[in-house]
Amino acid sequence: MTTIYLKPKKEESLKRFHPWVFSGAIARVVLDAKHQGDAPEEGELVCVRSAANEVLGVGHWQVGSIAVRILAFGVEELPKDFWAERIRAAYQVREAIGLIRPDNNTFRLIHGEGDFLPGLIVDVYADTAVVQAHSVGMHVCRNEIAEALMHEIPQVKNVYYKSDDTLPFKAPIEGEKVGYLLRNTGIPESRDTEEFWSTENGLSFRIDWLRGQKTGFFVDQRENRALVERYAKGKDVLNMFCYTGGFSLYALRGGAKSVDSVDVSQKAIDLVNVNVAKNFPKATNHTAVAADAFEYLTKQKGEGKTYDLIILDPPAFAKHRDAVKNALRGYQRINAKAIEMIRKGGLLFTFSCSQAVDKEAFRLAVFSAAAQVGRKVRILHQLHQPQDHPINIYHPEGEYLKGLVLYVE
Ligand code: SAH
């Protein structure tokens, strides 16, 4: 195996279990004898050693500022049953926190660094695991991962791979980035996600991993949706950026007087309607509209419309650090528009899933929005990502979702 030697003192963060080796920390690379080129191949397993030749761990080589993502610390090679062991350990956590129940078969099984598998995401929807690789190393290992999932997770009968949007786009990638890796032979080839339902806290969702965003569903809002359910009774609710209508279904079950779901994507709106019809076939208090958030709020305000509870769950406004300033302006603008439309004593559930925007910056943007509109606002809850999106304590970068529940007077 190729060996990466670090510069003196650069082993310290690895000894504290931070899973990344930055390219600037590397002193020299000693290539495996089999190697033809003059550098490791992207995705190759490499062993990392300190300047004093101590074994630090094994990881995937990457091109870029993060040169290695460590999979196993303190060993020279991956243990034989590595994938099975890691996947089993992740499943045991989900079981221990009560996420695997007859009325809940939707959960995140692997959350990258948070489950000690940097570069890998796996969401489970009933009998199907949807796998997303964020590194070439995980792409190379996709079949081993699929086998381990099928073997270790009792409910998994199919493994679908969906990495077309997540792999580094310049990387030399062999093999398909999208498609079934394993498929239960009992399932017809023609089976489409149109017939596919998954259950979250007793609510049914059609999950479209073939055409949907990310792995097909946003598992990360489960707990925050349950909080909306608690507060929805008798309220006029607006679910802005609704996607498949997660918050809308919980609000309806919580006894909302009316729910308006809005998303710019018509496909999302079609899914919301399907989901509402499945769970609340007699509901007459739900409307779904395909519209741009800013335009919708401006138009509704012009018509004097107000709400008791608004949910704002926009896509990541900042995908990179250099976009943070603009993102903060975006958060301020959209929050100001929403706060203006909340009735006295109403609630705003507002979120940011931009990893690059931290809690304090987001809170400041929302504060600026409240001040701009001149309403008296208090924070009732500070929300975050749920238990199946754990944050590796040595890798705080894994924290990304934050939310505030505001009481608006
Ligand atoms: N709240 C959702 C997830 C939201 S993801 C859930 O619980 O599942 C963000 C959504 O914002 C996507 O569905 C995307 O289509 C939508 N979106 C992006 N830009 C938008 C815009 N300008 N106006 C309205 N919706 C937008």
**Ligand 1 center from residue 314 Cα (angstroms):** 5
Q: Known catalytic residue: 353?
A: yes
pLDDT over 90, % of the chain: 87
Which atom from ligand 1 is nearest to the alpha carbon of 265?
A: 15
DSSP-assigned letters across all residues of 56-123? EEEEEE-SSSEEEEEEEET-SS--TTHHHHHHHHHHHHHHHTT--BTTB-EEEEEEGGGGT-TTEEEE
Residue 255 has pLDDT above 70, yes or no: yes
pLDDT for the residue numbered 37: 79
For a mutational test of ligand 1's pocket, the pick from 215, 241, 265, 300, i.e. the residue with the most ligand atoms closer than 8 A to its C-beta, is: 241
For a mutational test of ligand 1's pocket, the pick from 165, 263, 272, 310, i.e. the residue with the most ligand atoms closer than 8 A to its C-beta, is: 263
Query: SS3 breakdown of the chain: % helix, strand, coil, rounded to 5?
Result: 30, 30, 40
- The tokens for 62 are 């990457």
Binned at pLDDT 50, 70 and 90, residue 93 comes out as very high
Give tens-digit pLDDT for 11-41.
999 999 999 999 999 999 999 888 887 889 9
| Ligand 1 atom 10: residue of nearest CA | 241
Binned at pLDDT 50, 70 and 90, residue 192 comes out as low
Q: Average pLDDT of 231-235?
A: 98
Give tens-digit pLDDT for 259-317.
999 999 999 999 999 999 999 999 999 999 999 999 999 999 999 999 999 999 999 99
Closest to 345 (Cα-Cα) out of 378, 374, 368: 378
Is residue 261 within 8 A of residue 245, CB to CB? The reply is yes
**Ligand 1 center from residue 316 Cα (angstroms):** 9
pLDDT for the residue numbered 193: 63
Residue 185 has pLDDT above 80, yes or no: no
Q: What residues have CB less than 8 Å from 363, skipping those under 6 apart?
A: 404
**Ligand 1 center from residue 263 Cα (angstroms):** 5
Residue 71 has pLDDT above 70, yes or no: yes
pLDDT for the residue numbered 136: 96
Task: Write out residues with Cβ below 6 Å of ligand 1.
Answer: 213, 218, 221, 241-244, 246-247, 263-265, 268, 292-293, 313-315
Residue 150 has pLDDT above 90, yes or no: yes
Is residue 339 within 8 A of residue 374, CB to CB? The reply is no
Q: Average pLDDT of 366-386?
A: 97
pLDDT for the residue numbered 280: 98
pLDDT for the residue numbered 188: 62
Active-site residue, selected from the candidate residues 47, 141, 242, 353? 353
| Ligand 1 atom 5: residue of nearest CA | 315
- The tokens for 157 are 């009968």
**Ligand 1 center from residue 55 Cα (angstroms):** 45
- The tokens for 200 are 């979250």
Residue in this structure with the two tokens 């929403």, named with its chain if needed: 338
Which atom from ligand 1 is nearest to the alpha carbon of 295?
A: 23
Out of 140-154, 166-180, 272-286, 352-366, pick the least confident.
Answer: 166-180
pLDDT over 70, % of the chain: 98
pLDDT for the residue numbered 39: 87
The Cα diameter of the chain in Å comes to: 73
Average pLDDT over the chain, rounded to an integer: 94
For a mutational test of ligand 1's pocket, the pick from 221, 248, 261, 264, i.e. the residue with the most ligand atoms closer than 8 A to its C-beta, is: 264
Cross-strand partners of 161: 131, 179
**Ligand 1 center from residue 242 Cα (angstroms):** 6
pLDDT for the residue numbered 322: 83
Please give the model's pTM, rounded to 2 decimal places. Answer: 0.95
Nearest-angstrom CA–CA distance, 388 and 90: 9
**Ligand 1 center from residue 332 Cα (angstroms):** 17
